[in-house]
Structure 1
Amino acid sequence: MNLYNNSSKMFFFFMLMFSTLISISSNSWIGCWIGLEINLLSFIPLISNSTNLLATEASLKYFLTQSIASINFLFSILSKMILLKNFEMNYFLSIMINSSMLMKMGSAPFHFWFPNIVEGLSWFNNFILMTWQKITPMIILSYYINKNFIFIIIILNIIIGALGGLNQTSLRKLMAFSSINNLGWMLSSILISENMWMFYLIMYSFLISIMCLFFYMLNMFYINQLFINNMNSLIKINLLINFMSLGGLPPFIGFFPKWIIMNFMINNQLYLLIFIMIMMSLIILFFYIRIIYSTFMFNYLKMKWFKIFINNKKFSLINMFSFFSLTGMIFNSFFF
């Protein structure tokens, strides 16, 4: 999708950005809900594509799930206005509001729509769905968070994100499960503080943007394409660095936000939770390493029909990002 050549898509893209600002700067629940609705209606034209049936199906599925979550949210906030005094009802409504926001983000156990929709989108749309679309629900969630409920959700996210990605051959689904796992870390960071969450989100967006740009440039959608294509060894090394950083391996920058979260969790005696999170991160690293191992080991012929959108400017950008991924941790150690 080329935004620059298409004025209507550009308009919807700006509406998408604007709707998030409406939601997060609103001082009433209804204002938040209106922002969410504008967000939904501006994202659908971006993802629907008349030539691609998968994209059309994805936009319809996205519309249905988001509508259900919105109805749930609207029902909860109206009930909250009516039944303000009742404590038990308030507890139940906090779970309802949290659930509708989690459904909007594609969090487990409401995650079933997420990998299916991701499969039908381009890499650019995937990047928006995995980063920008999580901002509004997360901030609304932080207004009325139910800690006991969120702890269960964090564990579910971490486990489902790790185990779901094990038998995937599609890179988009793999990134979707990786996103679900990172959502667990993000929810635990929002329990610490909003600044911590913002830092984690910026770091995660940075890493996901590199991966999406990479796969877009190499025109990759499935794992086997990575070793059909006889790539330049520098591209392979960049892929290694960015995958390891996304997995959260120590010398890379992706480990830094996870390290801070681990510190906070250990200080607050949440030993079991952090143990589960670290164990599941190892599983995620396992399937990232499996992809990289295959990419390094197999060196097949270059196919004639293989189209790669790589140019020097984009490639130098990727090199710069990879350098930052590699050296960022050293600078952070000084600051920390």
Structure 2
Amino acid sequence: MKNKRFYLVLVSFLAIVLITGCGNNSQKSSKAEPSKTETTKKVTKPKKVTTPWDNQKDQKLESFINGWAPKMNQSYTRYDGKNPLKTSVGDQYPDDFNRISINGNKYSIGWSPKGNGNYEYNVVAIYNHDGTEPPAPNRITYLFTFHNGKPVVLVSESRDGDPRFFETQNNEIKNSFAQIADGKNSDQSANTTQSNSTTDNSGIETRDLKEIGVMVRQLLMPGDDLAKETLLGISYYNGKYFIGTGTSVSTVGYVVNGDTVLCYKKDASTGKPTFQQEYVESSISLKELESRFYSTPAQKQLVQSVANRMPDIESE
């Protein structure tokens, strides 16, 4: 009987010890286990690199040129980014970039399809027109560039020596390039230009450079009697035509851009000697020029007779 009680006490004691041990282990386990905390990793998004020019803008420019060129009675070849663009006067672009001057000075200039190169003038597009009217050969080459981050259109009509480029005076092509570079759509304006070109051209009777020069002379020097100007001649220099009798005071300049004529005359208001005076630019539509100096039989006869007796246009 005593042994039985002893075993009962022993079993109870062991049970208590086991329960206590398990409890302590449970507490130790819970204390040893660290609390779980959530960590958030920061994801750094790559910065988007923007460039002045891209394929979409390039396509818009091509669309504009295709609509604008017919108005100018011209057709243009586009540099494809691979094969050199050859002109009728022998220049090749972009190979001959190192030979050109810009506004009379030398600058670093190079092909930069995105417009963000390290040149002073980063060229994003090149278009060339080879002319067929005398004096031949002749060309008009446009370079669409970014200079100090701003869109600038350069043009050259030089025929001899190193290529000479200047900022274009054609506001239509200059403004359209700026709009496209700014992300605006210029296709509609180009299409409108193309659709209106037929109407504009239908009223124009002559595109003879001599006859246009005679009319410009009448416009800028209305006091001269052209019937008595037997020494008149026309020369071509630095992208402009000049008509005069061989002296600076008698000479005026002009450029024909499609249906617009840009006219240049010395600024006598400065009081400087004529050879030091700068040329001042003005413009008139070819239709308006004809309406004033080429609309009657007598006017046409005068312009044609003066143009016919002038020698061939002298090139630089």
Give TM-score scaled by structure 2 length. 0.30
Which has the higher Rg, Structure 1 or Structure 2?
2
Structure with higher helix content: 1
Give TM-score scaled by structure 1 length. 0.29
